[in-house]
Structure 1
Amino acid sequence: MTISLISLDALWQDARQLNLPPLLAPWLLEPASLTARFKRHCQQFRVQVLNEQRSELPAFLRQLLPDTAAAQLREVILWCNDMPCVYAQSWLPQQTVTALRPLADLGERPLGDYIFQQPGLQRGIIEATQLDIALPLLSIAERCYARRSVFTLNGLPLLVAEAFLPAVALLGKTR
């Protein structure tokens, strides 16, 4: 059974076709590593792992990760200067984790630090939506913009979704 903190079941659309808020558009459309972008904006950056477990892939995600019944679910918060800025959820199919062992043991290392250093990385289109985010431990209950992409790394798929929490607005102008 799937036990993710936030459901990604929403209407996702190609982010380039949407009228995105000017402050968030550069973040949502960032084609390179979001982790690297945050590190440019932060004096202190860290990852907080909320949940990591093998889980059944929800039916609404199966078209994105075909031939995947179960995957490693990882949910984290990206912190910038002690502000929770992004809730991220990744789905790593078992065949991907088996072939790329470092993905199984990331701990508090950002996923982006690993995948964006791999020469065989390809990113699918960036899709965006708005999600209701409820993270009681952080006193967050907001409707937030989110993005998702299917990556392939040496031909193996993984799905990454990131919801931009209110603190992103406090980072000021993008670099």
Structure 2
Amino acid sequence: MPIRFDAADAHWRVAPLPVFSPDQKDWLTRGGSLTAHLRTLGAVTVRVTREAVDLPFDDEYTALAIAPRTPVWVREVVLSVDGKPFVAAHSIVPLAASTGVWLAMRRLRTRPLAELLYSDSSVSRSSLVSRRLTARHPLHRLALREMGDARIHALLARRSVFERYGEPLMVTEVMLPALWTRLAMRDYKHAAAQPVPRDHGQALDHTASRADVNAKRVGKHIEAR
């Protein structure tokens, strides 16, 4: 189903930057429910950190096709895997739509937004776009609160717009360092579990040593004769 909203702009791009790792490119462009993808890594919990009326960020109102100071309903949550924060999510919807078409968003409590978005055939989704966030972006500060580590200078995030009966809802997901660490560990364990091909052209060290000993014994036996 076509959608009239576009989450992309000069900074938010459909194609991840070439410098991103394969895991980063994969998770920044994965379709479907991010919560479902996180469940493949462990037990997922949702913690609501803020629900309030606010104004959109400078790079948000265009994606929703609203005026800069149009009030929006904001929902912010942290998705943790096995107790560790992996994603800080920031969702906004025009305030009027939050009491109409998107009223269910206000009633989620600790349930993931995915339950609302992927169970309704009337919901369409824009392309996923991503970017690197630095300290200048308010979402970077939001994520730092959850990590408690001000040394993280850049974070990766993705976003997309969902449309239902003409009304937009934008979800931005900031990937936290713990996610990339878990994926790197998984990749390492997977690689370590693969059998190492044996080079049949070279003898193993202990075999070579035994062969040398046997050769010396044979040589001494011949000399004795």
Q: Same fold by TM (over 0.5)?
A: yes
Partner of 1:39: 39
What do you get for the CA RMSD once the two structures are aligned? Answer: 2.0
State the alpha-carbon separation in 2 of the partners of residues 110 and 147 from structure 1.
17
Q: Percent identity?
A: 29
Q: For residue 45 of structure 1, report the CA deviation from its aligned partner.
A: 0.8
Q: For residue 154 of structure 1, report the CA deviation from its aligned partner.
A: 2.9
Superimposed CA distance per residue, residues 133-163 of structure 1 (whole angstroms, 9 cap, x where no aligned partner): 3424532332111101111123220111111
Please identify the structure whose Cα radius of gyration is greater. 2
Partner of 1:87: 88
Structure 1 counterpart of 2:118, one-letter code: F
Q: How many residues of Structure 1 are paired with residues of Structure 2 in the alignment?
A: 163
Structure 1 counterpart of 2:108, one-letter code: L
Going from structure 1 to structure 2, the CA distance change for 1:88 and 1:17 (only over 3 Å counts) comes to closer
Structure 1 counterpart of 2:161, one-letter code: V
Which residue of the other structure, out of 126, 129, 132, is the alignment partner of 1:127? 129
Q: For residue 97 of structure 1, report the CA deviation from its aligned partner.
A: 1.5
Partner of 1:163: 174
Which runs of structure 1 show a deviation greater than 4 angstroms over 4 or more consecutive aligned residues?
Answer: none
* Structure-2-length-normalised TM-score: 0.66
More strand per residue: 1
Structure 2 counterpart of 1:84, one-letter code: P
Q: Secondary structure at the match of 2:65?
A: coil
Say whether residues 1:146 and 2:147 are aligned partners: no
Q: For residue 65 of structure 1, report the CA deviation from its aligned partner.
A: 1.1
Q: For residue 123 of structure 1, report the CA deviation from its aligned partner.
A: 1.1
Say whether residues 1:24 and 2:24 are aligned partners: yes
Structure 2: which 5+ runs fail to align?
A: 1-8, 135-139, 188-225
State the alpha-carbon separation in 2 of the partners of residues 17 and 166 from structure 1.
17
